[in-house]
Amino acid sequence: MAEFVEVHVTVPDRDAAERIADVVVGERLAAAAQLVAPITSVYWWRGEVNRAKEWLLFMKTTAERFDELAAAIRELHPYEVPQIIAVPLVAGTADYLEWIRQETSPEPGV
């Protein structure tokens, strides 16, 4: 996996999106979180095609922190099977990537 990833998570409403974003950024599991809404999701669930209005979170972190980030999201997420996927960041400006590294360090400033 690439050193840096963008994690995508869908949630049912703004409150859930803000709660997750606040916690994961506050705990330095993600350097940043962007909330996008509304989106319409169409998906299979329990043998049926469903349609739902949702919010989408984009979170920037390191691949090293992904498992901890995913665990925190699962704790906060209202869905039985939440979407938690990591997309590798194959390129980025050096200063931005360094910022992600610094802001997701378990020891800030390192």
For residue 88, what are the CA distances in angstroms to 8, 45, 50? 11, 27, 28
Domain boundaries, the chain: 4-103
> Which has the higher per-residue pLDDT, 106 or 92?
92
pLDDT score of 106: 84
Least confident of 1-5, 14-18, 35-39: 1-5
What share of the chain has pLDDT > 90, as a percent? 94
Give the Cβ contact number of residue 33 at 10 Å.
21
Does domain 4-103 match CATH 3.40.50.300? no
- Report field, pTM of the whole predicted structure over 0.95: no
60-95 pLDDT, tens digit each: 999 999 999 999 999 999 999 999 999 999 999 999
